């Protein structure tokens, strides 16, 4: 069921939590592209620049110095995100199984979702301007239940399109009972 294109230009191995009690699943984990981290760093640096310009404008033209405090707090949050972003990206993965797709993310706050193929209502690919520049995309799976929506960021465009086509084919077969 797995196509070789799903593992092209991705991290070499999924970062799994240490310790006992890890859930063993059949199949193999597929990961996102390292280009995702670069794209996210560029976006966060852009927001840092916007934040600095806004704080300067507010403090200069409106004479409100509190803007620097707010900008400083937000900048610290963005910088912390930049530090943990590479580690978070290595913990994002998905597994194609016989009846469902399993998505996992997180190291400290882990989330693992299994979406049955027959329950998928929409498979969407989103590409922002920075994503297009790096050749990556976000694949979104939508079901009737609001809590089981899955977004797989940082997939190569070829992998996202191949996975979308495969998921649509499998979901159609499951809904029709074939």
Cβ(144)–Cβ(122) under 8 Å? no
Span of 53-62, 105-114, 145-154, 162-171 with lowest mean pLDDT: 145-154
**pLDDT confidence bin for 37, thresholds 50/70/90:** very high
Domain boundaries, the chain: 36-86, 93-178
Supply the DSSP string of 99-128, one letter for each residue. Answer: SEEEEEE-SSS-EEEEEEGGGEEEEEEE--
Measured distance between the N- and C-terminal CA atoms of the chain, rounded to whole angstroms: 16
pLDDT of 124 reads 92
pLDDT of 176 reads 62
Whether the per-residue pLDDT at 104 is higher than 60: the answer is yes
Whether the per-residue pLDDT at 119 is higher than 60: the answer is yes
pLDDT of 25 reads 52
Number of Cβ atoms within 10 Å of the Cβ of 171: 21
What's the rounded mean pLDDT across residues 93-108? 88
Letter string b/e over residues 120-143, b meaning 16 or more CB atoms within 10 A of that residue's CB: beebeeeeeebbeebebbbbbbbb
Match 């610290």 to its residue by tokens.
76
Q: The CATH number of 93-178 is which of 2.70.98, 3.30.870, 3.30.70, 2.30.29?
A: 2.30.29
More confident residue, 120 or 15: 120
**pLDDT confidence bin for 23, thresholds 50/70/90:** very low
């Amino acid at each position: 069921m797995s196509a070789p294109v799903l593992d092209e230009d991705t991290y070499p191995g999924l970062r799994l939590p240490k310790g006992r009690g890890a859930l063993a699943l059949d199949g193999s984990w597929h990961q996102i592209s390292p280009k995702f981290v670069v794209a996210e760093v560029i976006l966060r640096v852009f927001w840092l620049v916007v934040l600095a310009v806004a704080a300067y404008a507010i403090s200069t033209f409106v004479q409100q110095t509190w803007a620097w405090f707010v900008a400083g707090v937000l900048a610290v949050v963005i910088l912390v995100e930049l530090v943990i972003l590479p580690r978070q990206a290595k913990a994002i993965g998905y597994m194609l199984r016989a009846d469902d797709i399993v998505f996992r993310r997180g190291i400290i706050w882990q989330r693992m979702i299994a979406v049955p193929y027959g329950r998928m209502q929409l498979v969407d690919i989103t590409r922002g301007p920075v994503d297009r520049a790096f050749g990556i995309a976000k694949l979104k799976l939508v079901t009737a239940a609001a809590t089981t929506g899955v977004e797989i960021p940082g997939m190569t465009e070829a992998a996202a399109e191949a996975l979308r086509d495969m998921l649509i084919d499998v979901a159609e077969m499951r809904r029709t009972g074939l």
